[in-house]
Structure 1
């Protein structure tokens, strides 16, 4: 038996592979093409936390955690021949698919990046699903991290999966309509539809894990050795709002809240996200669901203003003087949206939330303060830039000169990766 973890070098994929590896004797095969490292570099930023090479990571996993079942394959999942070879050699019983271009702002830069994001994400998933069918691996459990962003921001409570539709007096359960707000989020809407179709046509057991905005710097495994650290992005394009706000606090920027800032967003700690994926991956093949199941991978919703105020309060423990400022909202959005989202199935999977948001912020500040110089050296990356190249792997961005005294910081309320 083997377990395949795609995106195994990434923020979520790497700690998930470690969690799986420490709880199984099965071979855990990590797959990546190091795209995330390249994309972040292309927008002039870097991970605040230094990231070891994959060889150093694997050595540390064996030396520190005693895990000798991890292996790594470098390759591009958009290459059908590579995927065919990967599946035929390893014949995985489980696939944990975390590989993607994960940034909504990056996908919005221009048409080139929108096309790249949609091709990269959709082609990878299709290749894996069709590959499983064509290699006779229809019993393989396919687990993908999609996103809660597929739901948009409806006024009614968001179900954990489908929706009930009524027309002409008749009712039926239907897939939740795609209400994505970016070219990236729409890739996950399409993935969700393709996975549903793959289950219907091929019988592949599917776990569609709709991941909320994930925050945190470490898990139990990554904390054991600095070589096991996962990445921490804080720039406009790849840093989620909690990470950017924490980095701004460290750099002395005010945290800018647009309007009332009472609109709520879904969140989950890195620890709770990793635990859920690992439990699904390690489920007994004889008892795991054979159906198509949707999980809302979220533990709570938090308003933008609550995020900023919580970070400011926790930052005071570290002698950081942080301002929270309100400015006129340049976006057309409901500044008081309460976001209700059901998560009973996922909460049961992980036995409830293990990490509070306050503790998560405390962990971030403890970790990232050690790398304050890296954050301040890239503080201009908090802001969106002006594109000067049309090639995704040769991007050069120029930023306006904007320091801590500027009134408006456009990145402050960006919803997700």
Structure 2
């Protein structure tokens, strides 16, 4: 038996794999096809933090953390034969599925990228769910990182998973309706529905971890050696807002707040995101959930303006000249939306938030100051631009 981590070359997948491997003697099988590196390159950007090859990373993990239980499989999960081979050879007791095209802006560029995103993300999840069923792995705990974006931006507090519907005097708990705002977010809405169906039909234990905006450059494991660093994207297409703002601060570029910036978004530190996935993956078989459970992987909501102002305040510690500027919003959204999202179940899982946003920003800037040249060389990618036919 083993634990499989898909998307293990990625920003979240790599540190999650390290945390899991450090907590078990089971073989931890890292799976990836390196598509994230190609997507970011295709929009003319790169990781601000240099990252090694997967072989170099695994070698460093064994040397630094004495992790001899890591192995790697290069596979495209949209190919059913590759998934069948993966499951038949490794027979996982747990699958942590973090592999996806994760960018809403990338999925919105044109029809080709929208189609690619939907095919890539949905096909991979369906292949894994059906593969577990057809390989008689119905006890395998399937954990997927979807997104809090499946909820959209309703004007009421967002529950952790379902909703209560009332009609003609009768009440029942129902899945929260898909209110996604991009072709990417819709893939995760469909994944959530497919996982619910797989649990119902195949009796698979499912943990749907709805991931917020993750910020941070390192975890306890990756900070031990530069060779263990995880990637850090800062461009418009793949850099989340907090990361893009921090990179802009380093480059002396105005932080680009879209519209009023008063809309609140859900955030979580990388350390807290990794810890929750590891807790689920390493739960003992007899205490492992045998149901379909939804977790809102978030610790707090923060307005975009507060994100920018916090980064500006912390930037003073690094003698950075930072300005906050408001630009016309290229996205269709309520710029004053005061999001509230329940996350008690996830809080219980990780024992509460370990890293404040200000602490996270301080760590990010402390890392990025050493990579200013890599950021300034690509500062033209901070804002959306016209991509060439080659991009």
2-side partners of 1:372 and 1:174: how far apart? 48
Which residue matches 1:86?
86
Q: Is the 8 A contact 2:205 2:290 kept in 1?
A: yes
Which residue matches 2:207?
207
Which residue matches 2:316?
316
Secondary structure of the equivalent of 1:386? coil
Which residue matches 1:378?
378
Which residue matches 1:413?
none
Does residue 178 in structure 1 map to residue 168 in structure 2?
no
**Structural mapping, 1:56-205, within 5 Å:** 56-205=56-205
Off by >6 Å, runs of 4+ in structure 1: none
1:318-375 CA-partner distances (Å, limit 9, x unpaired) = 0001111235556553222110000000000000000000010001000011000000
Which residue matches 2:266?
266
Q: Is the 8 A contact 2:43 2:387 kept in 1?
A: no
State the TM-score, normalizing by the size of structure 1: 0.92
Q: CA RMSD, aligned part only?
A: 1.0
Count of matched residue positions in the alignment of Structure 1 and Structure 2:
391
1:11-41 CA-partner distances (Å, limit 9, x unpaired) = 0000000000111100000000000001001
State the TM-score, normalizing by the size of structure 2: 0.99
**Structural mapping, 1:279-318, within 5 Å:** 279-318=279-318
- Structure 2, unmatched stretches of 5+, are none
1-side partners of 2:272 and 2:351: how far apart? 10
Secondary structure of the equivalent of 1:138? coil
Deviating more after overlay: 247-256 vs 9-18: 247-256
1:288-310 CA-partner distances (Å, limit 9, x unpaired) = 11000000000000001000000
1:30-78 CA-partner distances (Å, limit 9, x unpaired) = 0000000010011110001000100100000000000000000001000
Structure 1 residue 255: deviation in Å?
1.3
- Structure 1, unmatched stretches of 5+, are 390-394, 397-417
Does residue 9 in structure 1 map to residue 1 in structure 2?
no
1:226-274 CA-partner distances (Å, limit 9, x unpaired) = 1100000000100000000000011111113234321100000000000
1-side partners of 2:264 and 2:48: how far apart? 27
Deviating more after overlay: 208-217 vs 164-173: 164-173
Secondary structure of the equivalent of 1:247? helix
1-side partners of 2:201 and 2:79: how far apart? 23
Deviating more after overlay: 164-173 vs 49-58: 164-173
Which residue matches 1:43?
43
2-side partners of 1:221 and 1:247: how far apart? 23
